[in-house]
Structure 1
């Protein structure tokens, strides 16, 4: 199988690429390497998969020196001509689109970036799949699509028509766009609603990274909603295991689906949406305690109100993924946090000073 994986300089995409390469798949990785956060971390991830940063040029392939079955290309999803040319030349069997402009709070100040990357860029991916016989498109959605929904745990069979950030709206739009292409053109598509992914090589704008860095430096951490937050923190290895199982199993239409009682999570078309989470919500204060335990140092906590676009709690119902693909997330929060802290100290610190300023 020949796979296109987008976002391979990013957190989840990097880990997924490694997993698929190590099992022998042919992979083309794609990323625009934007400066949403320090590009040095993105280049460092690529170097872990044998991609020489000095050889990276826009629109040109770089062959991995570590994996003979891996090539990387720097491209923006919104570059329509380049994306469609890539699909025409490479004839991918399957595509996993993880590239996107991430971040809920960032979307409040930079809305147009989300339309360019997450809407226009995703349309280019869909068109590439449509015209080149792609057998399955899996793509990143987000737990943020649940928005104002307060029914717990969050289920893919719930209505998600009330997002509260443009980031969430862009991910909900991706699901609607994918369904349209599944229905019109028979392209199997699967949306992946990720729940607060964490682990080594994670994003610097995420809570675990921010908290660890601040605690080490003796600086206060911002604790939103006065600590009354819960998140379905999911370790990266569990996320990747779920993605691989999804990629390997394209959806088929649900013969029991009816327009009189429409199920949001399935369709008469070859379309499916899954939650990928741990299904065990953790209180934010317990999460901070796990970081303190791993670091052997207490945090200075600055309690703040709930931020615009944030929700107080997330909790994934992963029963569909369990029943369909035998998905079993099992990484305890303390183990996962400990692994992150060990990586942070090894990769980012020399004598308690940062190697890379993030």
Structure 2
């Protein structure tokens, strides 16, 4: 991803060059011959915080002794392999660094199975003469692990700060009287896009909050009719996919919360459509038994890497192969919360470039006892 303009705030390249000379070099293959000592390098050497630089490709260029000690590094290890949530780096932090030149927030790194949390500031480094991007620099302070609620708020702040930063940059550029009409239109389109992105994120946050706090509204419903109507609506919104609905079982009614059931199926269908960019068939199967009903949604989309499937229902989590597709990272978290409210279970079976199948099992009467 390349920025179309010079970053508005760029870390001093000379300072970071000098800082790295006396810090430990983790990759002897990196060309760090331009690093020379200075007052900044002495600060980096003695600082209790992590101070370092990472290449565009995601490899450590330099790291001070405190950083090495915190991370327990004795040999070279790519920075991106140490991230606790690489999708946040790829989908949120790096885009903001390209757009604005800086980013700050909470960041987790892992090593030897231990998760270490940092209050981080990151900066884009540019070569002063050619303005070519060279990497990213950080000053990060180790902190205690945040509570789950605090972590959610931090993640939400990250998701909202990124489009806000882009919007701020576009507004600053629109103040330039010499900007061409074409360039102005480009920035207006960017502003509209980021406003829509923030609106979708806030809507999902509100939905997540409401589904957690609201009391269940149990009633007797016809699940076949409810599902058929939702599938019909979803089909109207896509002409690249064929949605196929099938049912099993003779029971015509169940007792459940219709709103939560609708949210579960709507989000799963939306997910399948979104992550099947080439179109294809999406199958939805509903099986109704005496004590439970099972809902399956299967697609032939991009799939989910096996190593990432255990984190799929975490708030703001996005699979590494899905970062180029627009989304808030909250859709499946909402599904999981709705399923939990109904005393149900959800499972996923997926293979990259083959497809994904979500299976939801919910008791016919969630709180019959």
Q: Per the shorter chain, which TM-score range?
A: under 0.3
Query: Higher relative CO (CA 8 A, sep ≥ 6), structure 1 or 2?
Result: 1
What is the TM-score normalised by the length of structure 2?
0.24
* Higher Rg: 2
Q: TM-score, normalised by structure 1?
A: 0.25
